[in-house]
A = this chain, B = another copy of it.
Amino acid sequence: MTISDKEAGEIAELRAARSETRRACVPALEEILYEPVRLLDHGFLRVIDYMGDDGAVVQAARVSYGRGTRRVSEDRGLINYLMRHRHTTPFEMCEIKFHVKLPIFVARQWIRHRTANVNEYSARYSILDKEFYIPAPDQLAAQSAANRQGRGEILEGAEAERVLELLRRDSEQAYADYAWMLNEGEGEAKAAADPERKGLARELARMNLSLNFYTQWYWKTNLHNLLHFVSLRADPHAQYEIRVYADAMLDILSRWVPLTHAAFMEYRMGGAQLSASALAVVRRMLAGERVSREESGISPREWRELMTVLGRESA
């Protein structure tokens, strides 16, 4: 029920239509345009529109009259240069618009990125569907002991079962009471409505729903801000439930702007930021010195992370 037949039909209709344009086009992205990438149990991410391509980055960097691109190797070199030196404005010249369906608690993390345009489905005007997120068993993790905001071992046995049962039961109850309070709707809800009751205002009734209910929005951002979002949310420290969306964006980036995507993986995602002290340690090590954590002035936790980054045993 994530996407109804009616909705699937509307998407198919959009996908079937073609127009002629003078604008820059990206066939690999057109291929999946409007098509939902399914995520979590009822969520999705789909590209609704886009503006520009790798060439548009190059064109803006050169303030060109024409297409602005040259040989691929030159364009790649320029894009690498811009990424490496954090010349961010040319990446702001591309724009993308998504339709996203996501649990409310994920939406609350997501919206902290303020540099985007958003239109959310309004539960003041409309009635939310009965769709809530229940984690898959392999995502039912305990609190991490090492990290106040992380996950530890996976719950098992009776505890796992009980947790899933409670989540499901409370969500069902919350929705049933939401529907009763509204006393309106279509189909079944309409049939169940009691003409003797007034029904509670939608803007009030919604407060009974829990944070695992799904909401949806149109979310539009430029390429620079999208990369920033992905760099934070596709990070291993990000919560799993938002990371799956960021990972899907990485795939979309590789279709849409392959040169930018490659530069991003090389200079952001795959690289590392060393602190002044860490850099001093690396220099000394490369000069053949043995360096101990104690004399480095680096905290135990940062030292462990540094040794991991450098591919060394943390002895």
- Residue ranges of A at the interface with B (Cβ–Cβ < 8 Å): 3, 7, 9-11, 13-15, 17-25, 30, 33-34, 48-52, 56, 59-61, 63-67, 77, 84-86, 89-90, 92-93, 95, 97, 99, 103-105, 108, 111-112, 114-115, 117-122, 124-125, 133, 135, 139-144, 148-153, 155, 159, 163, 166-167, 170, 173-174, 177, 180-182, 184, 197-204, 206-212, 216-218, 220, 222, 232, 237, 239, 265-267, 269-279, 282-283, 285-287, 299, 302, 309-312
Inter-subunit contact B278/A273 (CB<8 Å)? no
Q: Which of B65, B119, B220, B282 lies in contact with A63, CB distance below 8 A?
A: B119
Which 5 A-B pairs have CB atoms at the shortest separation, nearest pair first?
A10-B66, A270-B276, A92-B117, A142-B198, A19-B25
Q: Which of B34, B201, B266, B302 lies in contact with A84, CB distance below 8 A?
A: B302
Inter-subunit contact B200/A65 (CB<8 Å)? no
Residue numbers in B under 8 Å from A90 (CB-CB) = 119
Contacts A93-B218, A210-B208 given: A24-B51 contact, CB under 8 Å? no
- With A49-B51, A112-B118, A140-B204 given, name 4 new contacts (CB 8 A): A18-B22, A93-B97, A143-B199, A286-B312
Inter-subunit contact A166/B15 (CB<8 Å)? no
Inter-subunit contact A286/B287 (CB<8 Å)? no
Number of copies of chain A assembled together: 4
Residue numbers in B under 8 Å from A67 (CB-CB) = 10, 13-14
- Residue with the greatest number of chain B CB neighbours at <10 A, chosen from A22, A66, A220: A22
Closest to A197 in B: B159
Residue numbers in B under 8 Å from A140 (CB-CB) = 200, 204
Inter-subunit contact A18/B17 (CB<8 Å)? no
Closest to A212 in B: B207
Inter-subunit contact B275/A267 (CB<8 Å)? yes
- State A17–B67 Cα separation when bound (angstroms): 11
Residue numbers in B under 8 Å from A150 (CB-CB) = 201
Q: Which of B48, B52, B143 lies in contact with A200, CB distance below 8 A?
A: B143
- State A26–B267 Cα separation when bound (angstroms): 38
Q: Give min CB distance, A213 to chain B, whole Å.
A: 9
